[in-house]
Structure 1
Amino acid sequence: MREQNIGLPVVEGGIVFLGNRRPTMRAFKMAGRNCVITRMHVPQAYTAYNVPDPNWITLHIPLTWSGDYVFDGYQVSEGDAFLADCLNGYSTAGENRDAITLGATREAIESAMRSMNGGCDSSFEFGASIIQPSTVLLQAVAGQIHAAMEVERSLGARQELHFMPEVAERDFIDVLAMEFRSAESANAVTRGLSRRAVDVVAEARQLTLAHSSSVPSLSEICAITRVGQTRLFECFQEVHGLAPYKCLMAFRLSAARERLTDKDNPPHSVKQVALETGFTKSGRFAECFLRQFGELPSEVLNQTQNEALMNT
């Protein structure tokens, strides 16, 4: 997840892969000064969260998936898109999911929307809502991706991050602003999950990951989030589809794997990573890691260290 978020306006993000397999993701990323387009395919079953930069507005468009697909506790239907604007970000869960996420700075979107209103000094409330993306927007996204792939083919090399020309970006922001304006005028209503559940889970996750050397107990989490254990369980089920302990353990293990695969600053030992992520016993850490990812942490670290040596 760390590598996938490079170049994107993301403050924080995490993903848990469900099933004993090596994690895989494929992503296309394109960015200008004021907007980004990402398309990401996650083959495995997973649950995740993302916290965008607060100066940006995000539109998430699910394309295809297998079985159930859930966004902030809401069961996604074909044609749904999700305008996300919350301090604690948003959660997603599904399998074999292919989705597009669009981001734009508030300043650029509001400027474009004011121009459409004849320059009136209007204020805009975006909030969190479910909208139906227009054909014009989807065609604009497809056009931007196609143009980037044509450039990539002409260069003869795969690009990790494509750059959007200024003129193309300006046109795209106008299309996106028109979409948001239509959604606002249609008084789109948020359905499904209450934001309180997202906030409770985000606070519990932040407590666990921020104090990894002394992981709080569920009773301590309940006291700080001001909910009972039954409500805590309900919130985690709504947001991630997992029980609190299992979910928080999985995010700790995912954070450990991110650290073990950091080729720019590889850790010295598995024990170091275990302690950093709240595991006092290396054997217990290795057992849990193997169960979640299908490989030992020592194997992952050896591969990272070898790759780091090859790149020096």
Structure 2
Amino acid sequence: MVDWKDRTPFYDYLSRLPVEESVLVQLEPGDLGLSSIDVRGRESFIVRFKTGARSIWTMVPEPQWVGFLVPISWAGDYLLNGMAAKPNSVFQLDGTQEYDTVTEQRDAVTVGVRRSVLASAAAALTGGEYQIRAPSQKKMDVPAKHRRQLISILSKAIAASPVSASGDHFQSMPRTIETDMVSAIADWMIQMDDLDTCHLVANRSDLKIVRDAMDAIRQAGHANLSIADLCQAAGVNKSRLHQAFSEVQGVSPGDYLYRTRLTYSREFLLKSERVGQSVKDIAIKHGFLSSGQFARAYRSMFGELPSETMAR
């Protein structure tokens, strides 16, 4: 795995992922410990990633992709759009819908395949037209052997993919390996259709409220918004906003906004663009009016003062 602790800021890594947008917010103190294996094919990709401290990872996929996410191990709970993983869970993903995963000490693998390519592979196996089910994020509680089967399919493809010679920190999947992998995933997906083990998001209204609030954060910037602004964006009162965030992400909207400011401030401190700016300037830039309060909160979360991060 590529260890991104020494390749900070980690948003440089997130920008390389095959998605429209990716946001990682640290929720609790500790080492984020981001590391990954990233494999790219012509019609597919595999990303196996590990993180340490509890965090929320938001993905905004590209619409043409469908895929699966397999949590391999984690501590505490593992939530995807409010759906709690079990030891035998696999999540089906759709590129038309963004999703959040919340957990700590995560080790998970995600595979994405171009929608038309996966449908064609399934049609070849069934001998007729195959329609991928209506777009949605789903949790599938599958028999243990089926979960192991999917992990094995992905592990074999990773092992057969050499590191890219371009220095882009990802592995290139050979075309023959990709074809075999997509066919195996299509066969696995057909088996899951027969088992009908899917669970959908229990409360879509909660998910919409959270999405509307997070869209507002992305558009206006985390430093410029208050909880009242998020309520207005989502069209709900504070109590309803709190309920929705608690259900979907396991945190309050205030905590999410606060942790986002801390996480982004650390990323900015690690960037070359911050040269010439003081800690106070950066604190204000990220919504902290008191540089002393910012320094105390920062040290509590990351184990060092902002000035120590800046001195690296």
Shorter-normalised TM range: 0.7 to 0.9
The match for 2:5 is none
State the SS of the aligned residue for 1:286. Answer: helix
Which among 223, 227, 237 is matched to residue 228 of structure 1? 237
Against the structure 1 CA distance between its residues 255 and 202, is the aligned structure 2 distance closer, same or farther, given a 3 Å change threshold? farther
Contact 1:42 1:95 in 2 (8 A): yes
Which residue pairs with 1:55 in the alignment? 64
Once the two structures are superposed, what CA deviation does each residue of 1:124-173 show, in whole Å capped at 9, x if it has no partner? 4352222224544222112122234xx46xx9xx9821110111111111
Q: 2:153 matched to 1:144?
A: no
Return the alpha-carbon distance in structure 1 between the equivalents of residues 196 and 77 of structure 2.
27
Query: How many Å separate the matches in 1 of 2:57 and 2:179?
Result: 31
Pair 1:16 & 2:29 matched: no
Q: Describe the SS at the equivalent of 2:206.
A: helix
Per the alignment, residue 293 of structure 1 pairs with: 302
Q: CA contact under 8 A between 2:52 and 2:104: conserved in structure 1?
A: yes
The answer on whether the counterparts of 2:29 and 2:300 sit within 8 Å (CA) in structure 1 is yes
Aligned ranges 1:1-312 → 2 under 5 Å: 1-85=10-94, 87-118=96-127, 120=129, 122=131, 124-131=133-140, 132=142, 133-148=146-161, 151=162, 160-212=169-221, 215-262=224-271, 268-269=276-277, 270=279, 273-280=282-289, 282-303=291-312
SS at match of 2:209: helix
Summarize deviations over 1:228-274 as a string: whole Å, max 9, x none: 211110111112211111111211222232333335x5554245544
Task: Please identify runs of 4+ aligned residues in structure 1 that moved more than 6 A.
Answer: none
Q: Distance in 2 between matches of 1:75 and 1:122?
A: 27
Identity %: 26
Secondary structure at 2:32 match in 1: coil
CA-CA distance at 1:280 after TM superposition: 5.0
Specify the code of the residue in structure 2 equivalent to 1:164. Answer: M
Letter of the 2:66 counterpart: I
Structure 2 unaligned spans of 5+: 1-9
The 3-state SS of whatever aligns with 1:3 is: helix
Q: Is the 8 A contact 1:61 1:81 kept in 2?
A: yes
1:23–1:166: structure 2 CA closer, same or farther, 3 Å change rule?
Answer: same
2:246 alignment partner AA: Q
Of 287-296 and 44-53, more deviation after overlay is shown by 287-296
Whole-angstrom CA distance in 1 between matches of 2:223 and 2:13:
29
**Pair 1:295–1:145, CA change in 2 (3 A):** same
Change (3 A) 1:122 1:61: closer
Structure 1 gaps of 5+ residues are 304-312
Counterpart position of 1:306: none
Root-mean-square deviation (Å): 2.8
- What's the CA shift string for 1:105-140, capped at 9, x where partnerless? 112212222333435375643522222245442221
* 1:31 Cα deviation from its structure 2 partner: 1.0
Superposed CA offset, 1:44-87 (max 9, x none): 22232222222211311011122222222122111100012264
Go from structure 1 to structure 2 and tell me whether the alpha carbon gap of 1:128 and 1:88 turns closer, same or farther (over 3 Å shift): closer
In the comparison of the two structures, how many residue pairs are matched?
296
Q: Which one-letter code corresponds to 2:155 in the other structure?
A: A
Change (3 A) 1:211 1:76: same
Shift of 1:102: 1.0
1:215 and 1:278 in contact (8 A); partners too: yes
**What is the DSSP-based 3-state SS (H/G/I as helix, E as strand, rest coil) of the residue aligned with 1:10?**
coil
Note closer, same or farther for the CA distance 1:6–1:164 as it changes in structure 2 (3 Å cut). farther
Contact 1:48 1:240 (C-alpha < 8 Å) held by counterparts: no
